[in-house]
Amino acid sequence: MSKAYVVGERSLILGFKGVGFEMVEAGDGEKLAIDLARLARTPDVSLILVTETIAAENPGALAQFHETSRAILTTIPTHQGSRHLGFNEMKKLVEHSIGVDMLGKE
């Protein structure tokens, strides 16, 4: 059975537990890299949501996860507002796949 995970600061991800997400607490970018590497080796992972504040601390960890896993990984904004990390990643992927910036400039 496929599982969905949410990774980030405990206070920001606790609500996702109520709707069936598995919680992975990561307080900094280094812990994020360790946790994503572990999740990449887990066969039943299908979706991972990462808080933008933690993702911004270690964007290389997200890139490494994308290279080693087929699971969907995206960032979610926090109470501090969106940094548009998920949108920017999608924009790069669309532009790379079709060669045109269809989603517009920043």
Per residue of the chain (106 residues), what is the pLDDT tens digit?
Answer: 789 999 999 989 999 999 999 999 998 889 999 999 999 999 999 999 999 889 989 989 998 998 999 888 888 887 665 656 656 666 666 565 566 666 666 5
Find the angle CA(5)-CA(11)-CA(81) to the nearest 5 degrees: 90
Q: pTM, whole model, 2 decimals?
A: 0.77
Closest Cα to residue 93, out of 106, 82, 103?
A: 103
With tokens 């600061």, the residue in question is 9
Report which secondary-structure segment, H or E, holds 3. strand 3-8
Residues 48/72, Cβ–Cβ less than 8 Å: yes
Report which secondary-structure segment, H or E, holds 75. strand 72-76
